[in-house]
Structure 1
Amino acid sequence: MLALATASVAADSKSESSRVKAEKASQVSLEQVVIIGSKDEARTMSGSAFVIDEVELEKFEYTDIHRILRQVPGVYVQQEEGYGLRPNIGIRGAGGSRSEKITLMEDGVLIAPAPYSGPSAYYFPTTGRMTAVEVLKGPETLKQGPYTVGGAVNLISTPIPKQAEGLVQVEIGNDGEDRLHAWYGDSTEQLGWLLETHQHNADGFKSIDRSNTDTGLDKEDYLAKLRLNTPEGEGLYNQVDIKLQYSTEKSNQSYLGLTDADFDRDSNRRYGLSELDQMDNEHASATVSHLIAFNDELSLKTTAYYNDFERDWYKLSGGGKYIEAANTGDAIAQGILDGTEDVDGLKVKHNARQYESYGLQSELSWQVAFVGMDHDLDFGVRWHEDEVDRFQPTDIFNQVNGSLVYDSTDLPSSSNNRVEEGEALSLYIMDHISVNEQLDITAGIRYEDIDTEQKRYSDVDRSSSTVTAENSTSETLLALGATYQLNQQWGLLAGVHQGFAPASAGSEDVDPEESTNYEAGVRFTEENLFVEAIYFFSDYENSVQYCTVANPCDGQTSGSISQGEAEIEGLEFLVNYDFAGQAAYSIPVSFTYTYTDTEITSSSDDGDFLKGDSLTDIPENQWAASIGYVAASGWDTYLNASYTDETCIDNTCDRSGVDDRFLTTDDLLVFDLSASMPLNAQARVYAKVDNLLDDQEIVSRKPDGARANKPRTFYVGVKVSF
C-alpha cells in the first residue's frame, strides 16, 4: 500500500504545523503549490489529511489515479475503462461520478474543465507526471472550495530542480502498452526552468466483435515552467512563476458494456455496435503566479489561470436498452448485440463540447502573535468564470449483416445545442491558532456567490436562443477544528464544518447540496508506528445528484435533481509500521479500512427517493493492505492488496421486493506486485504486475451494461536520472 511515513510527531513540533509558508519566503515555490505539505504535517492537522509523496508513488509507478487513491481511507473510486482516463472519485459519501463533488486541483489551482457550470470532470491531469497527491478532508476544506461536502484532491506536478538535472523513464507492458516520461531543468539564483513530457500508449485489453479496431489509448502531455525571482536578502522578495501545459488524447473507449451472461463468458469482449466509439480531446492551460514577501511573517500570493478543454466523444447512444432487454431474455436484443440481427436507426453521437475556465485567486498569509497565542492567518479571494459549449450532431447507422452502415446525420436539437455558464466569487478567512504546546485550533469562514445559466439554441446557426435555466446561490460556510496532544504518543482531533456543493448550470430552482459534517478521532505515534482512527458523520439538509450520460437521473442527462435529506456516517482507520530489521533490511507494513453507511432520511417530493434508500456508488466496506521488503543494497519489493464491497448503482437496490440482479457491482479483491533494483547510482530497473491473480469482476454498470477492471498486466521499466 502507499503508506504514510513513520517519523515521530512530538508535541513541541506543533509550532511548525501544516504550512510551507512557515519557511522563509525565499524558500516558497509557487509553481508547486501544496494544500497540506509533508506527511508529518498531515498528521498534525485539525482534520483528516493524507499525502502520497514521490517516494510512495515510485513503489508501483502507477499511471491510474484509482490505484493510488484506493489506498486512502475515506476515498471511494469506481473504475470504468481500466486506465483511469476519466476518474470517478468520491470522498466520505460525496458522489464520485466523474469526481463531480470534490475540489480537484493541480498545484492549488482548480483543474476540472468547468467546476461550476459543468462539474463532471471529463478531464483529469496526467497522473504519471505527478510527484505527489494530497487528499484533504474536514474543516480545512473550507479554504479550498467550492466543493466542501467531501474534500479536496490536489495533484503536485514536477518542480523546477535546484540545479541542472533530468530524468528519463521508459516502460513497456502487455497489450501494446508503453510510456515515456522525461524532464530536464535548471536553476540559478534568479532563474529556473523545466521542460517535461509524458507519453502513454496502449492497444487495450478488450476485443471488438468483427473488428480490427483496438480499444486502447494514445496520450501525449507537455509541460513547461519558468521561474523569475529577485535576489534573496535584497529588499522585498518577489517571485514570478509561469506554467504552460498542453495534452492530447485519442482513446477508443465506450460506455457500452456487456450483458451479465456475456460478461461471464468473456469479460473483455466488446460488441460490434461500439466499433466507432472514440474519445478525441485536447487540453491547454496557463498559470501565472506572483509572490511578494514583505517579511518572514507576511506574504501575498496571486495566481491568474486559464484552462481550455475541447473534446469529441463519438459514441453509441442508447445501447443500454439492448443490454437491459437481453438481460431479461429478449432474443432479438441479444441478436442485435451479437450482430446476427439487423437493426436500423442506431445513433452514434458526436458528444462534442468545449470547456473554458479562467480566474484570479489571491491569498494573504500573515503569521502574528496575539493575546499570547500564535496565529497563522490566511485571507483569500477567488474570482472564477467557466463555460460549457455543446454542439452535438448525431450520425444514424444501420446494422446490416453485422456491419455498421452510415445512413444520415441529425443536426443538433436544443438539448444538444446549448451553452452553460457559471460565475463565482469566493472569499475565505482561515486562522490556525496555537493556543499552547498541546492545543491547536483552526477556525474558518467561507463565502460563495454563484450565478449559473443555461442557454439553448433552436437552430444550428444560433440566431435565436432561449434561457432555459438560471440559478443564483449565496452561501456562508463555517468551520471549526482542534487538535490536542495528550503526550508524546497520543493526540486527539475533532472538527465540524458546513458542506456545500452548488447545483449545475442546467438546474432550475434546485437548491445546492448542503450538509453539516462532523469528525472526531485519535492518533498514536511511537517510533516506527503510526495509528489513526477517525469517525465521521454528515447530516445532509439536501443531497443533490448531477445528471449526466455517465450517471443519468432516471433518463435525465443534464441538470441536477434533489434527493432530499440524508445521513452518512463511517469510520476511517489506518496503521503503518516499519519492522526495522538489522542494518540489512526493513519491512514496511500498512493497512487502511473505511466503513460507510448511507441513508436517505426523508422521501423526495416526487417519490423517486424514499426514506431508507441508500445513496449510490458507495461501498459499505473497503480496505487496502501492503507489505514490503527493502534491502540496504537498494533492492526492494512490495505487495499491495485492495478490497471493495459491491455497491448499489441505483437508490432502489436495497428496497424490499426489488430485483437487484443488475443494480449492483461485484465485490473485488486485487493484488499488485512490484520489485526494483539499482543498476548504478543514476539508473534503476523495475518490474511489476497489476492484478496479480487476474481477477476480473463487474466494477461498473452505468450507463450501458457490465464492464470489468483491467486484467493481469505485466510491466518492466527503467528510470535514469542525470
Structure 2
Amino acid sequence: MQQRFTRRFIVAAIMAASLPAAAQEHTLKELVIIGDETSAASLPGSAHVVTNEDLETMKYTDVHRVVKEVPGVYLLEEEGYGLRPNIGIRGSGSGRSGKVTLMEDGVLMAPAPYSGPAAYYFPSFGRINGVEVLKGPDLLRYGPATVGGAINLRSTPIPTTTGGRVTAEIAEDNGKRIHAWYGANSEQAGWLIETHQHESDGFKDIRQSDREAGFDKQDYVAKLRLNTRPDADIYHQLDLKVDYSEELSLETYLGLTDADFNANPDQRYFASERDNMDTQRTGFMARHLVDFNNDVTLTTTAYRNEFKRNWYKAAGLNSLINAANGGDALAQQQLRGEADLAGIKIKNNAREYESQGIDFVADWGLNLSGMRHDLAFGLRYHEDEVDRLQPEDTFDQVIVNGRPVLQYVSTTSGTGINGGNNAIEKAEAWSTYIADRITVNDRLTVTALLRYEDIETSRVRYQQEARTDVQDRASNSTGELLPGLGATYKLDGGVTLLAGVHRGMAPAGAGSTDVDPELSTNYELGARIQRGAGRYELIGFYSDYENTVQNCSVATPCAGGQDFGSVSQGEARIQGIEALAGYEFALTNGLSVPVEATWTYTDAEVTKDSDSGNVLKGDNLVYLPENVLNLRTGLRAGNQWDAYLNVSYVDEMCIDNTCDRSGTDNTFRKTESLTVVDLSGSYRVAEGARVFAKLDNVFDTQKIIARSPDGARPNLPRTASLGVTVDF
C-alpha cells in the first residue's frame, strides 16, 4: 500500500513539474477539515461548522453546551464545567469521548487515541475559535474511530494584521478567566502567542471541610507561519505550533445518594475531601504544505503529544451509595461524615501518555472523461503509549470532637501494585486512504473512499512497583478495510439531496486479546435547503453494529464492574433523525432576529446477546438519550449590541444495559431529563471594546445528569458572569 501511494504521488509530482508555470496567487491554507458552511453543504454526509461568531453569541467555555447545538451529537455531563468531556455521535457511546476522533487543527489530540482512547485531556474551550463536526462517508479520511463522527477544534488563528485581543471575565463562585493573544502577519510570515487562564472555587461544598471544590487551568500556545511569496510558481507553507497546559481540579467520582441530592445537589461527601486531578500536557506540531500548482498539493504533518496526570481520588464507595439508597442508615451517616468509616481507598490514578506520528496527504485534481476528479491520498504512521502506576493509600474516617478526620493507615506503594494498576500499554498503527470526489455534472457529485487500518497493540502488567516481575502479557492485531460511498444531487430552489454508506470501526483498547474492533455499517439519507436567510436540514441515519465494544474505565465501568480494557457487547442497531432549521429575520431600524433549532431523535437497542451474557438482546445502550433539542434565538442591532436566549433539552438516559429489562427496578438506573435556559448579551462601549454578561441556567434547574461511577451528580446551577473584550 505504501509503495502504491509513493508511485502515485511521484507521478502526480512529475505531472505538476511538467506543467507550465501559471500566473496564480496562492492563498494561506487554514488547518481545517471542513472549512465553512458552504464547504459543509457540499459534503456527501452530515457536516457542521460552529464558527467563532457562533461561539461569541453565548460565550460558552464548556464544549458540552456548544455541541448540544449540533444535531446527531450526544453528551454526558460530569462536573458542570466540561473539564473532561464525554461526547458521542450517532449513538457511538459518549464515555470519555473514546468513540469520537478528536482533533485540534487536524491533529489527533486524545492522549493515546489507539492504546487508551479515553480523552482525559481536552483543551480549555474558552480559547477555541471554532468547531467542526463531520459525519458520514467523508469520515474515512480521518481515524481511528469512524463509527460515529469526528470533531476538530480550531485554535485561534494567526491574525491577518498586527494586533491582539484580551478577554477578562469574572463569575460567581470566585470564577476568573483571562484569554489573551497577540500576533502579527506579513506577506511571508506570521506569528501568534496566546494564553488562557481559568479558575473557580467551584459550586459544590464539601461537608464538614474547609477545602474548595474548584479548578485552576492554564493554557499557553505559540504559532509561527513561514511561506513563500503568494505568486511563487511552487508555493510552500510551514506552520509550527507548540502548546502547553496544566490543570489542578479538585474533582471526584463520588456522587450523592438520591436523598442527599434532593436535599442539596451542590454538596460533596467528606470522604472526597482530598480528591484532585493534577495534569500537564505539551503538544508539538509541524505542518509543511507545498502547492505544485492549482491541482497538486502535498501536506506533511508531524506531531507529538505528551500528557501526564494523577487523579488522586476515593475509590470503591459505590457499595455505600447503593446501601444508603436501599435504606441503610449507617451507610448514609458514614457518607455524610457522621460516623466512623474504616478502609477508605484513595488511589493515585497516575498515568503518563505519549502520542506521536507523521501524516502525508496528497491532493490531485484532474479532468477525466468530461468529469472533474478531486483525488486525495493519505498515509499516516502513529504510535502511542499509556504507562499506569496507580498505588492506593488507605485512610480511616474517624469522628474527632464531632468532626470527621481522615487518618492515614497504609499504602501499596512499593509492593502489591499489580494488574490494571501497574501496566504499560502500547499501540502502533498504519493507516491509509484514497478518496475521489467526482463532479459528474453541475448537479451530481459522487465521492468514493477506501480506508485501511493496521493496528498492533500490546500490554504488559507487572507484579511490583519495581517492575522486575511480569504478571502477564497480551497483544492484539487488527487489520480492517473500510469502504465508503456518498453522493449529493442539487435540485432547483437551493435543495440538495444527499446519501451515503460507509463501513466504520473503533479499535478495542490495548491488550484486549479476545475483543474484536467495533464494526458498523452506517447509512444516511437526507436533504439540505439553503434559501435566502434560511437554512434547513433533515437527515435520517441507520447504523448496523455487528460488534459493539465498550472501553471500560472507572468513569464508565463495563458490566460486572470492569474498569480497564474493552469488552464486546454484542450486535446493535442505532437509527434516528437529525433536523436543523435556521433563519434570520430582518426587522426595521437595523434590528435582526436570528433563530436556530436542532433536534436529534435516536432509537437504539442490542439485537444479539453478547458472548459473556452480560448484555442481552433488547437491552438499551448506555447513556444514550432518545431526544436532544436545542433552540437559540436573539435580537441583534448590527455590531452595537445583542441579546441571546438558548434553551436545551436532553432526555433521561439509562446508566447500564440492564435498565428497562422486564422486572428491573429502574429507580437508580436512569438519569433525569433536563431543560436548561441560558441568557447572554453584549454591548459595544467603544471601537474595539465590548462588555458582555451571561446568566447560565436562568431558572436554577438541577437534575441528576449522571450516576456513574459512584452516585448522583448535578449540572451547573444558576451562574452569573460579567466580562469585557478589548481588541488592539
State the TM-score, normalized to the length of structure 1. 0.96
Match 2:711 to one of 705, 714, 721: 705
**Offset at residue 718 of structure 1 (A):** 0.5
Say whether residues 1:348 and 2:350 are aligned partners: no
**Offset at residue 232 of structure 1 (A):** 2.4
Q: Look up the match of 2:188.
A: 190
8 Å Cα contact 1:682/1:720 also seen in 2: yes
Deviations 1:343-395 (A, max 9, x none): 21110010000010000001001111111111111100110000000011111
Q: Look up the match of 2:700.
A: 694
**Offset at residue 133 of structure 1 (A):** 0.2
Q: Look up the match of 1:679.
A: 685
Match 2:527 to one of 497, 522, 527: 522
Q: Look up the match of 1:651.
A: 657
Q: Look up the match of 1:496.
A: 501
Q: Look up the match of 1:380.
A: 378
- SS of structure 1 residue aligned to 2:202: coil
Deviations 1:63-88 (A, max 9, x none): 10000001110000110000000000
Q: Look up the match of 1:364.
A: 362
Match 1:537 to one of 531, 539, 542: 542
Q: Residue 590 and residue 396 in structure 1: after superposition, are their counterparts in 2 closer, same or farther (change >3 A)? A: same
- SS of structure 1 residue aligned to 2:548: strand
Deviations 1:433-462 (A, max 9, x none): 111011011110000000001101112111
- SS of structure 2 residue aligned to 1:335: helix
- Which residues of 2 match residues 86-485 of structure 1 at below 5 A? 86-401=84-399, 402-411=404-413, 412-485=417-490
Q: Look up the match of 2:567.
A: 561
- SS of structure 2 residue aligned to 1:283: strand
**Offset at residue 466 of structure 1 (A):** 4.5
Q: Residue 295 and residue 633 in structure 1: after superposition, are their counterparts in 2 closer, same or farther (change >3 A)? A: closer
**Offset at residue 331 of structure 1 (A):** 1.4
Query: Which amino acid in structure 2 is aligned with residue 648 of structure 1?
Result: C
Q: Residue 467 and residue 28 in structure 1: after superposition, are their counterparts in 2 closer, same or farther (change >3 A)? A: farther
Measured in 1, the distance between the counterparts of 2:284 and 2:536 equals: 40
Query: Which amino acid in structure 2 is aligned with residue 604 of structure 1?
Result: S
**Offset at residue 28 of structure 1 (A):** 3.1
8 Å Cα contact 1:579/1:586 also seen in 2: yes
Measured in 2, the distance between the counterparts of 1:105 and 1:223 equals: 16
8 Å Cα contact 1:419/1:456 also seen in 2: yes
**Offset at residue 633 of structure 1 (A):** 5.7
Unaligned runs of 5+ in 2: 1-22
8 Å Cα contact 1:365/1:378 also seen in 2: yes
Match 2:46 to one of 31, 45, 48: 48
**Could you tell which deviates more after superposition, 84-93 or 523-532?**
523-532
- SS of structure 2 residue aligned to 1:523: strand
Measured in 1, the distance between the counterparts of 2:161 and 2:610 equals: 60
8 Å Cα contact 1:447/1:476 also seen in 2: yes
Say whether residues 1:26 and 2:32 are aligned partners: no
8 Å Cα contact 2:179/2:197 also seen in 1: yes
Measured in 2, the distance between the counterparts of 1:679 and 1:246 equals: 34
Measured in 2, the distance between the counterparts of 1:36 and 1:276 equals: 43
- SS of structure 2 residue aligned to 1:610: coil
Q: Residue 495 and residue 633 in structure 1: after superposition, are their counterparts in 2 closer, same or farther (change >3 A)? A: closer
- SS of structure 2 residue aligned to 1:661: coil
- SS of structure 1 residue aligned to 2:261: helix
Measured in 1, the distance between the counterparts of 2:536 and 2:221 equals: 38
Q: Look up the match of 1:615.
A: 621
**Offset at residue 607 of structure 1 (A):** 1.4
Q: Which runs of 4+ in 1 moved over 6 A?
A: none
Say whether residues 1:578 and 2:584 are aligned partners: yes
Query: Which amino acid in structure 2 is aligned with residue 505 of structure 1?
Result: A
**Offset at residue 222 of structure 1 (A):** 0.3
8 Å Cα contact 2:419/2:471 also seen in 1: no
Query: Which amino acid in structure 1 is aligned with residue 409 of structure 2?
Result: D
**Offset at residue 26 of structure 1 (A):** 3.0
8 Å Cα contact 2:418/2:471 also seen in 1: no
Query: Which amino acid in structure 2 is aligned with residue 654 of structure 1?
Result: D
Q: Residue 416 and residue 25 in structure 1: after superposition, are their counterparts in 2 closer, same or farther (change >3 A)? A: farther
- SS of structure 2 residue aligned to 1:507: coil
Measured in 2, the distance between the counterparts of 1:299 and 1:340 equals: 68
8 Å Cα contact 2:373/2:437 also seen in 1: yes
Give the total of aligned pairs: 698
Measured in 1, the distance between the counterparts of 2:555 and 2:291 equals: 46
Measured in 1, the distance between the counterparts of 2:155 and 2:25 equals: 20
Measured in 2, the distance between the counterparts of 1:140 and 1:445 equals: 10
- SS of structure 2 residue aligned to 1:564: coil
Q: Look up the match of 1:12.
A: none
Measured in 2, the distance between the counterparts of 1:240 and 1:199 equals: 28
Deviations 1:548-574 (A, max 9, x none): 111111211111111111100000001
Q: Look up the match of 1:14.
A: none
Measured in 1, the distance between the counterparts of 2:71 and 2:289 equals: 34
8 Å Cα contact 1:25/1:237 also seen in 2: no
Deviations 1:155-203 (A, max 9, x none): 0001111221100000000001110000000012222110000000000
8 Å Cα contact 1:25/1:296 also seen in 2: no
Q: Look up the match of 1:6.
A: none
Measured in 1, the distance between the counterparts of 2:555 and 2:497 equals: 41
Q: Look up the match of 1:595.
A: 601
Q: Residue 345 and residue 520 in structure 1: after superposition, are their counterparts in 2 closer, same or farther (change >3 A)? A: same
Query: Which amino acid in structure 2 is aligned with residue 26 of structure 1?
Result: H
Measured in 2, the distance between the counterparts of 1:715 and 1:25 equals: 45
Q: Residue 364 and residue 259 in structure 1: after superposition, are their counterparts in 2 closer, same or farther (change >3 A)? A: same
**Could you tell which deviates more after superposition, 45-54 or 336-345?**
336-345
Say whether residues 1:604 and 2:602 are aligned partners: no
Measured in 2, the distance between the counterparts of 1:606 and 1:89 equals: 27
**Offset at residue 489 of structure 1 (A):** 2.3
- SS of structure 2 residue aligned to 1:695: coil
CA RMSD of aligned residues (A): 1.2
Unaligned runs of 5+ in 1: 1-22
Q: Residue 696 and residue 302 in structure 1: after superposition, are their counterparts in 2 closer, same or farther (change >3 A)? A: same
Measured in 1, the distance between the counterparts of 2:160 and 2:228 equals: 16
8 Å Cα contact 2:27/2:230 also seen in 1: no
- Which residues of 2 match residues 624-639 of structure 1 at below 5 A? 624-632=630-638, 634-639=640-645
- SS of structure 2 residue aligned to 1:567: strand
- SS of structure 1 residue aligned to 2:126: helix
Measured in 1, the distance between the counterparts of 2:231 and 2:673 equals: 58
- SS of structure 1 residue aligned to 2:350: strand
8 Å Cα contact 1:471/1:505 also seen in 2: yes
- SS of structure 1 residue aligned to 2:119: coil
Measured in 1, the distance between the counterparts of 2:151 and 2:196 equals: 21
State the TM-score, normalized to the length of structure 2. 0.95
